[in-house]
Amino acid sequence: MVGDRAVYGSMAGAVGAFVQLIYGLVGRIIGYSGPDFVDFGKIILFYGRRVGLQGWFMGLLALIVWDIFLGVLFTLLIPETTRRFLWFKGALYGALIWFFVQVVGILFGVPAIIAFIPQTLFFYLMGALIYGIVIASMLHILGYVRQPKDLS
């Protein structure tokens, strides 16, 4: 069963990464000019933002691997969840990820994270909430969650 959770979590995390990239693209179209999710992947790998095509592809790869890891972690933290409040659980998970990434970045003194302005923090918070809802929805679509028991 753990293997199934890893597969479901991987698929949900990969779809979540794809949706985050689309969200970042939409953000660019409507005027957001701060660091996007590929830049966040660069921060994970390089402890800062690198320029160039290789840096962009490595940041993209880091983002996808990170999101797959977080998807698997979600399935392991909630081994047998019901459909009840599933989107709320996903959104809460996304908000917790956002919060802990910010805290760890500040505690370890990562310059690229310390320099974030409120607009960037809000952009990442919305992306984390969307990511959490997407992975919860994907687990529902894949049939990982079960029907709640009738309490009557």
For the chain, the farthest-separated pair of C-alpha atoms sits apart, in whole angstroms, at 60
pLDDT top residue among 102 and 79: 102
Specify the pLDDT at position 14. 95
**pLDDT of 17-63, one tens digit each?**
999 999 999 999 998 888 888 888 888 887 766 778 888 898 899 99
Assign 116 a pLDDT band (cuts: 50, 70, 90).
confident
| 67-85 mean pLDDT | 82
> Which amino acid is present at 100?
F
**pLDDT of 81-101, one tens digit each?**
666 788 899 999 999 999 998
The pTM is what? 0.86
Cα 152 from Cα 106, distance rounded (Å): 48
Specify the pLDDT at position 66. 93
Query: DSSP for the chain?
Result: -HHHHHHHHHHHHHHHHHHHHHHHHHHHHTT--S--HHHHHHHHHHSS---SHHHHHHHHHHHHHHHHHHHHHHHHHSTT-BSTTHHHHHHHHHHHHHHHHHHHHHHTT-HHHHT--HHHHHHHHHHHHHHHHHHHHHHHHTT-SBPPPP--
Indicate the average pLDDT of the chain: 85
CA 56 vs CA 39, 40, 81, 93: distances in Å: 8, 10, 36, 27
| 1-21 mean pLDDT | 86
Specify the pLDDT at position 55. 85
Specify the pLDDT at position 129. 96
Assign 142 a pLDDT band (cuts: 50, 70, 90).
confident
